[in-house]
Amino acid sequence: MAAGVAVAVVGATGAAGRTTLRVLEERKFPIRELRCFASLRSVGTTVTFRGEPITVQRVEAPAFRGLDIVFCSAGSAQSKEFVPMIRRAGAVVIDKSSAFRMDPQVPLVVPEINGQEAKTHQGILAVPNCTTIVTVLPLKPLHDAGRLRRVVATSFQSASGAGVKGIEDLRQQTLAWARGEPIVPRHFPHQLAFNLIPHIDRFGPDGYTGEEMKLVNEARKILALPDLQISPTTVRVPVFTCHSVAVNVETEAKITAERARELFARFPGLKLWDEPAEHRYPMPILVEGQDDCYVGRIREDLSHPRGLAFWVVGDQLRKGAATNAVQIAELLVRT
């Protein structure tokens, strides 16, 4: 594969798909052939890669013959339909939906944490939920140093986490407010502009949402901690890009704030940004477009002798989706 890889992107016209193309180009992934696919309404349009237009094709079995790696940036229902078909054509699939994440036969990979799992794939590899990736990156060094016992994570998730429709809904709502017009939500269940919506995805019978349970189940799988206690809350916020997470952890061995800063500063995929007296801390407007997740507001918990609190921000279109997927592909071409 190292001489050049035949690659496809399914969902190439969506927010995650376009970002995948951008990251493949930026990281100079060794592509000898690129094919792009999207829904029927986008077939025949073009996307740009390395300055050249690529015509978007229809998703159908013959079109996937001869490919090595396929990035699937479609929804869960589409992935369940497309991925088996792509596998039969002979390609390895890196899927960004929730369709296969909890399948015990499918590696759920964050390369900085469990990249070795990519070697065990049977043709499908899963990219975790974007909020999960942002949250688990700082959890890993804390666990290695002090053994995690409990995690409380409250995520503040941007509009682009809901795709291009979410971005456009927030934009139109904001413009309507500026013009003094009525704000009519088109995609979100409530007005998002200048507001917070304290749920994402459907509620379960226990009051937790599907998005919250993704964090619980996926973090346990990635960290190989099936019994880790996790209490999640998800909030949609009027920010276009980047998810932010307020995290509180309890460890078996005490980790001081200073020790945590040392651990975060040297862990791959993290950037320490923690000078509160100088008003230097992670914010979406600073982290947008970055591949690393930024961590700050690090402090010891006043309510627990082995508790630690911190704030982490990541661009969910990049490290939360596209960059993580491309990093997985880089592991594959090196094997």
Backbone angles phi, psi at 207, to 5 degrees: 90, -10
- Report DSSP state, residue 280: B
Give the strand pairing for 69-72 and 92-95. parallel
293 is catalytic: no
Dihedral sign, Cα of residue 226, residue 229, residue 234, residue 239: negative
Q: How many CB atoms lie within 10 A of CB 283?
A: 17
Token pair, residue 259, equals 């020790």
Contact residues for 281 (Cβ-Cβ < 8 A; gap 6+):
273, 274, 275, 296, 297, 311
Distance of alpha carbon 308 from alpha carbon 260, whole angstroms: 9
Please check whether residue 243 is in contact with residue 313, taking contact to mean a CB–CB distance below 8 angstroms: yes
72 is catalytic: no
Q: Which residues share a beta bridge with 84? A: none
Distance of alpha carbon 65 from alpha carbon 20, whole angstroms: 21
Token pair, residue 116, equals 């070795």
Please check whether residue 241 is in contact with residue 288, taking contact to mean a CB–CB distance below 8 angstroms: yes
Distance of alpha carbon 230 from alpha carbon 228, whole angstroms: 6
Cα dist. 162→14, 27, 39, 213, 276 in Å? 11, 25, 17, 17, 31
Q: Scanning the structure block, which residue is given the tokens 């459907």?
A: 202
3-class DSSP state for residue 192? coil
* Catalytic annotation, pick one of 121, 199, 243, 293: 243
* Catalytic annotation, pick one of 36, 130, 242, 293: 130
Q: Which residues are catalytic?
A: 130, 243
